[in-house]
Chains A and B, each alone.
Chain A
Amino acid sequence: MIPNLLMLLTLLGAGPEATPDGIRFTYYDPTARQVYLAGDFNNWDPTALPMQRDDKGTWWVVVKLSPGRHEYKFVVDGQWTADPANPITAGAYGNSVIQVDENGNLVPVLPTSNTPMSSLVYVHGNLLGFLKTARDTVENRFRLIDTQADLKLDFNVTLDLVNLWFRLRYNTRQNLDTTTRLIPVRVERARATLGHNPKIVTFYNRWVYESPEPFRLVGYEGEFREPFGRDEQGLMFQAEPGPWKATLLYANQISTDRDLGYLRVQLGRRHRVGLSVRLLDGFNRANQVPSPDSLRNDSTGNLIHFNLYDRDWTVALDGTLRPTATVALTAAVGRGIRKRIAGESDVDGTYSRWERSHLSWTQARRFRWFAGLRWQLKQHHVLHLSLEQERHTYDSLFLPLPQRRVTFTTWTLGDSSDLGRLRWSWTLQRLTIQAPDSLPWAYLMAFSGYSRVPYFAWPLVGVSPTHTVEASWRWQLRRERPGLALFYHGGLAFAGLRTAPLSAVEVVGMEGLWRKWRLYAEHRRFTLNAPDLEAKGSVGLWYAELRYHIAPRATLNLSWGLRPWDLNNEYRNRRAFLEQQGVTSSLLYTNFQRLGKAMLTAERALADDRSVTLWAELSF
């Protein structure tokens, strides 16, 4: 955007331009008596560089500048004036900015401000307006069922070594206060950075660090941001002396005062070795998943809530070798110890039964190890193989209960290739869960991690009460031609390696581009084939979207059907809902049946969504 403008102004003969003799500065003012050029290249001397005037009232001067960034201003009859033909300004004084390369040409400069008020403040954001209509089945007519406006305003203030960034956010549907009918605006995220290398960063609810660990064995992924809440704050220190790179991070969850510390030290660029350490410590109350030694419900059948104290140590070592430019071998191993102490409380999370129930406290230890191999065969072809095992061991501190153990073992084999217009990938994964027969499946779902068990494989969890074996196969195929792309992706879940697929999801679709128009359509089919669960059927969903690019980052969209990101939200809600479905052992098998049927019923409800949605999105 701005580079285009600068180029345009240069073509028009306005603003600074590169010439064989140097940079030519111009200022148009036929009424001025004398104009000088001052900048960091002449120590801001207001009279050192007089400019000459042509017949049309344009003042000019040519200056040889060294490569790099330069700030300057004109002195017009004694008044300091920024260059009106150069929209790029910087610093507290609003000086005009240019950048010169080694050949004496002008290089585009990113602006630090887009507000007339200050050269320091840059405001950008994302605005979304949304209308959704659907047919009212009761009165059989089309109605507007939902509207929404979502605004994010980001403020970026840059002052040499300091950068401050914060975001204001509101959503007119989610944030509506039903009592006052007001929509509060909140500071959603913030970050302050001091320095470049080394640098210190303080943050509030913002992911500031992406770990370069090859398999994310330890990792830091903003644990307190999702799903527990949006109240994480912290501090990070980073330094890169030579071949070393060190990151030390501390994060705190405000509402519960849980702490997380993460350290990563890495050596090398091409061949690399790294050490990652993470400590999670704190008190997490009112967790809805029961500890495994208690299968009790209250009289209404609801789960008993547990308060958990966590102390979790994880250490991992990884290494990467690159024998050639296109081949990389990576290996990692990690070990974790988790201590969890659980105590029961009432359904509403109060502590009235805390003291009476202290005898049921349990201690949980977690051990996890991971080994992976990633082989880059060619420039765009990667093969990966990994094995991971995680073991949870439970002891009761006071009661003479037997020690129990749950083990998750995962084999993963995958391949991906990008041949330009054709891309494909597949992943075969086998997850084995060994658990006591009385362990509630909701516990397995929560602690196995949602990423391990894809949505279409949920019915597999707990099929066999004592020994659950599952495998899943995912694939992705994409074929591109100018203006058109076709894709096909999906997954299958198997109850055993030699059995027929239990469930499947397939998505086939197309994406067409023509000038500023984009048409996207997909058909998604979910199939469940589980006679043992008395659940068998297939449901298809259609979705189509027409998009018009009003401008590079402004779109107008019209869609029909349930939008894909609404589908993801739906799945998240279902996970939370299914976790609440009875946990007693007597209902275990019945719940698996209900799960299968519930999934089909829920998919059919989604397929009935024929809403038409209009929304516009603008980023600036």
Chain B
Amino acid sequence: MNHRVLPLLWLLLAASPVLEASQVSLNGYYEGEFVADKGRTPTPWNLWNPKNYFELKFTIHPYSHLEAFTSLNLLSNANDARLYLNQFHLSLKTSRSEALLFSREDRFWMDSPLLHLIQTDRARDDNWGPKAEGFRGDFWNLAGFFGTGILYKFRTFRGEGYMARLGRNFGPQNYLAWVYLKKDWHVGPPPTYNEVTALQGQWHLGGATYFRLEAARSLHPQVRLAEPDPAWRLGSLDLRNWAVEAEIRYLTWHHFKLAGSVFAYGPNFTDEFSNRFNPSFDHEFDRRGFYAEAIYLLPYRAVNLIYKTRRFRTRYQHPVMLDHAYTTWWNYGEIYAEFIGGVNAKVSLDSWKDNLGTWNHFLFEVIGENRAMRVKLQYMIKDIGVNTHGREVEYSLGQRHLFGTELRVNLTPSLQFYGRAAWGLGTFRTWESVFFQLAYRRFQNTEVFLEYGEPGQTDGNLVQDWDFSDNPYVKPVDRLKVLVKFWF
């Protein structure tokens, strides 16, 4: 190559970003499900509602820095067959920024380490999958600044969302950031919006110790839970619609690791983008308290001692504000140990106390594992000491003993057996659940499952799943299911 060609080459490189073939990658996924239920009427073990689900994904890179993606779904079941849009985005990415237009994707993650102001399942307009559509832009490392902006429309109701975060790094581990959130909707008399402004920061205090602070203020014209309250005044400042939390994590001292935080969530602080401060979900209104955590690593032993506590004072009992305040106190203690031979065990005690009563739970768990199998045993006593004397007690099923076992066995390199069984023994009845699965994985991209039972009863960590521990009417379901999965 001579000196005349080189400049021409660089000219080509500089002038045309289209120096790669417009590649379109196709990927897909198929799932077929066939179910037979013993309880089906009029024909027991009737094979009903076979489902075929096919997903086709197109990833297009027509030019450097540009990417387009769309995913189409084909679903056929007993009702009909549909080909419909799953997701779409069009993005432009550089080394310090990214901008994209998206539809039906979950693009709403935004850091809020203490208050969790943004939880994506609330922001994405979820209705059997995200339905929102809009624009997101991010930039980072621009003179130490970073930022995010999201502008989108809800599709299950008439409304819009606006989210922004702008901050600056001070060194590799310190930052200060401002967050702005707004949700607009068109239902009901105006004004109809919820607006949150927050300030958040992190400082590294050395070693593994960080200090974090987050303070937020909300505006929600349609929410007025509390009247002016001296408990929420700071001088002339009305803090009813404020939330503040400060945390230190972890202070280490010998083999101790300590963490703690203090928090205050005002009675009128509302954030529709989160579950915590949302009146339709966790409604954590009017709380002032602290959280502490201590972990002790026993020297020369694979044993951890953990203690956690959370205590706060509040007047809110969903959905109203009481005339008097009460205290909620949660304590948790755990001993965790690992033994030689792939065995580990855990013993824990959990206590919750509020104005409605006290509930204590005990859990013992042991897990053994080797290359061929994995076994888990659980024993739990829930609501210790709550004696119904043969009758139902409000807010509790009474003391109950729960046993659970989980087994996974590699029968061959391609064939695996998995099973779960659980029993509940209460003051006035017993209940049980079983689930078995045979999995065949012969090829790298294919899986076939044969299942018996209802997996949803104990999939939340066996007897700790509320579907089992708080439902004495659970019973095994006689259901056979064949599931085929395939990727390409």
Contacts of B127 in A (CB 8 A): 181
Option from A8, A115, A553, A618 in Cβ contact (under 8 Å) with B19: A8
Contacts of B152 in A (CB 8 A): 144, 147
A27-B92 Cα distance, complex, nearest whole Å: 35
Interface size on A (CB < 8 Å)? 52
Nearest Cβ in chain B — how far from A186, in angstroms?
Answer: 8
Residues in B110-158 with C-beta less than 8 Å from chain A: 127-128, 131, 133-135, 151-153, 155-156
Nearest Cβ in chain B — how far from A573, in angstroms?
Answer: 21
A127-B92 Cα distance, complex, nearest whole Å: 13
Nearest Cβ in chain A — how far from B363, in angstroms?
Answer: 41
Tell whether, in the assembled complex, residue B82 and residue A1 are in contact, meaning their CB atoms are under 8 Å apart: no
The answer to whether A1 and B12 touch (CB under 8 A), given A123-B58, A149-B88, is no
Residues in A166-195 with C-beta less than 8 Å from chain B: 168, 170, 172, 176, 181-186
Nearest Cβ in chain B — how far from A161, in angstroms?
Answer: 25
Nearest Cβ in chain B — how far from A240, in angstroms?
Answer: 33
- Nearest A residue (CB) for B85: A183
Nearest Cβ in chain A — how far from B157, in angstroms?
Answer: 11
A2 interfacial by beta-carbon distance below 8 Å:
yes
Tell whether, in the assembled complex, residue A114 and residue B18 are in contact, meaning their CB atoms are under 8 Å apart: no
Residues in A222-257 with C-beta less than 8 Å from chain B: none
| Chain B CB within 10 A, most for which of A5, A116, A181, A614 | A181
Contacts of A130 in B (CB 8 A): 101
Contacts of B66 in A (CB 8 A): 550-551, 554, 618
A8-B11 Cα distance, complex, nearest whole Å: 11
Contacts of B90 in A (CB 8 A): 127, 129, 616, 618
Tell whether, in the assembled complex, residue A151 and residue B88 are in contact, meaning their CB atoms are under 8 Å apart: yes
Contacts of B356 in A (CB 8 A): none
B184 interfacial by beta-carbon distance below 8 Å:
yes
A4 interfacial by beta-carbon distance below 8 Å:
yes
The answer to whether A550 and B85 touch (CB under 8 A), given A5-B20, A11-B1, is no
Tell whether, in the assembled complex, residue B85 and residue A185 are in contact, meaning their CB atoms are under 8 Å apart: yes
The answer to whether A551 and B1 touch (CB under 8 A), given A131-B151, A618-B66, is no
Tell whether, in the assembled complex, residue B155 and residue A185 are in contact, meaning their CB atoms are under 8 Å apart: no
A463-B405 Cα distance, complex, nearest whole Å: 89
Contacts of B102 in A (CB 8 A): 129
Tell whether, in the assembled complex, residue A181 and residue B62 are in contact, meaning their CB atoms are under 8 Å apart: no
A561 interfacial by beta-carbon distance below 8 Å:
no
Nearest Cβ in chain B — how far from A363, in angstroms?
Answer: 45
B414 interfacial by beta-carbon distance below 8 Å:
no
- Nearest A residue (CB) for B61: A620
A418 interfacial by beta-carbon distance below 8 Å:
no
The answer to whether A116 and B25 touch (CB under 8 A), given A129-B101, A149-B133, A551-B18, is yes
B410 interfacial by beta-carbon distance below 8 Å:
no
Tell whether, in the assembled complex, residue A111 and residue B190 are in contact, meaning their CB atoms are under 8 Å apart: no
A13-B152 Cα distance, complex, nearest whole Å: 49
Contacts of B9 in A (CB 8 A): 8, 11-12
Nearest Cβ in chain B — how far from A202, in angstroms?
Answer: 22
A170-B85 Cα distance, complex, nearest whole Å: 8
Tell whether, in the assembled complex, residue A11 and residue B83 are in contact, meaning their CB atoms are under 8 Å apart: no
Contacts of B65 in A (CB 8 A): 550
Tell whether, in the assembled complex, residue A172 and residue B85 are in contact, meaning their CB atoms are under 8 Å apart: yes
Tell whether, in the assembled complex, residue B62 and residue A553 are in contact, meaning their CB atoms are under 8 Å apart: yes
The answer to whether A138 and B190 touch (CB under 8 A), given A87-B21, A114-B22, A114-B23, is yes
B26 interfacial by beta-carbon distance below 8 Å:
yes
A129-B133 Cα distance, complex, nearest whole Å: 9
B84 interfacial by beta-carbon distance below 8 Å:
yes
Tell whether, in the assembled complex, residue B23 and residue A116 are in contact, meaning their CB atoms are under 8 Å apart: yes
Option from B16, B68, B128 in Cβ contact (under 8 Å) with A620: B68
Residues in A1-31 with C-beta less than 8 Å from chain B: 1-2, 4-5, 7-8, 11-13
The answer to whether A181 and B156 touch (CB under 8 A), given A114-B21, A117-B26, A551-B63, is yes
Tell whether, in the assembled complex, residue A550 and residue B134 are in contact, meaning their CB atoms are under 8 Å apart: no
B191 interfacial by beta-carbon distance below 8 Å:
yes
Nearest Cβ in chain A — how far from B456, in angstroms?
Answer: 24
Tell whether, in the assembled complex, residue B18 and residue A552 are in contact, meaning their CB atoms are under 8 Å apart: yes
A572 interfacial by beta-carbon distance below 8 Å:
no
Interface size on B (CB < 8 Å)? 53
A153 interfacial by beta-carbon distance below 8 Å:
yes
The answer to whether A551 and B17 touch (CB under 8 A), given A116-B25, A185-B85, is yes
Contacts of A69 in B (CB 8 A): none
A64 interfacial by beta-carbon distance below 8 Å:
no
Tell whether, in the assembled complex, residue A185 and residue B83 are in contact, meaning their CB atoms are under 8 Å apart: yes
A608 interfacial by beta-carbon distance below 8 Å:
no
Tell whether, in the assembled complex, residue B103 and residue A149 are in contact, meaning their CB atoms are under 8 Å apart: yes
A4-B88 Cα distance, complex, nearest whole Å: 30
Nearest Cβ in chain A — how far from B11, in angstroms?
Answer: 11
Nearest Cβ in chain A — how far from B162, in angstroms?
Answer: 8
Nearest Cβ in chain A — how far from B54, in angstroms?
Answer: 12
Nearest Cβ in chain B — how far from A228, in angstroms?
Answer: 25
Contacts of A550 in B (CB 8 A): 63, 65-66, 92
Nearest Cβ in chain B — how far from A517, in angstroms?
Answer: 16
Contacts of B26 in A (CB 8 A): 115, 117, 123
Contacts of A146 in B (CB 8 A): 153
Option from A144, A185, A553 in Cβ contact (under 8 Å) with B134: A144
The answer to whether A123 and B24 touch (CB under 8 A), given A183-B85, A184-B83, A184-B84, is yes
Cβ proximity bits B310-322 to A, threshold 8 Å, 1 near / 0 not: 0000000000000
The answer to whether A139 and B63 touch (CB under 8 A), given A1-B18, A124-B22, A551-B18, is no
Contacts of B134 in A (CB 8 A): 131, 144, 147
Contacts of A296 in B (CB 8 A): none
Contacts of B190 in A (CB 8 A): 138-139
Cβ proximity bits B15-41 to A, threshold 8 Å, 1 near / 0 not: 011111111111000000000000000
A244-B70 Cα distance, complex, nearest whole Å: 46
Tell whether, in the assembled complex, residue A139 and residue B191 are in contact, meaning their CB atoms are under 8 Å apart: yes
Tell whether, in the assembled complex, residue A620 and residue B60 are in contact, meaning their CB atoms are under 8 Å apart: yes
Residues in A81-138 with C-beta less than 8 Å from chain B: 87, 111, 114-117, 123-124, 127, 129-131, 138
Nearest Cβ in chain B — how far from A13, in angstroms?
Answer: 7
- Nearest A residue (CB) for B64: A551
The answer to whether A181 and B63 touch (CB under 8 A), given A13-B1, A111-B21, A551-B17, is no
B55 interfacial by beta-carbon distance below 8 Å:
no
Tell whether, in the assembled complex, residue B21 and residue A5 are in contact, meaning their CB atoms are under 8 Å apart: yes
Cβ proximity bits A582-600 to B, threshold 8 Å, 1 near / 0 not: 0000000000000000000
Tell whether, in the assembled complex, residue B72 and residue A185 are in contact, meaning their CB atoms are under 8 Å apart: yes
Option from A117, A147, A182, A185 in Cβ contact (under 8 Å) with B133: A147
4 residue pairs, one from A and one from B, having the closest CB atoms: A129-B101, A620-B62, A551-B63, A149-B103
Chain B interface residues (CB < 8 Å from chain A): 1, 5, 8-9, 12-13, 16-26, 58, 60, 62-63, 65-66, 68, 70, 72, 82-85, 88, 90, 92, 101-104, 127-128, 131, 133-135, 151-153, 155-156, 160, 162, 184, 190-191
A-B residue pairs in contact (CB < 8 Å), sample of 26: A5-B19, A11-B5, A11-B9, A13-B1, A116-B25, A129-B90, A131-B101, A144-B134, A146-B153, A147-B103, A147-B153, A149-B103, A151-B88, A168-B72, A170-B85, A172-B88, A176-B155, A181-B127, A181-B131, A181-B155, A185-B72, A551-B62, A554-B63, A616-B90, A620-B22, A620-B24
Known: A129-B90, A147-B152, A618-B66. 4 other contacts (CB 8 A): A4-B18, A115-B25, A139-B191, A181-B131
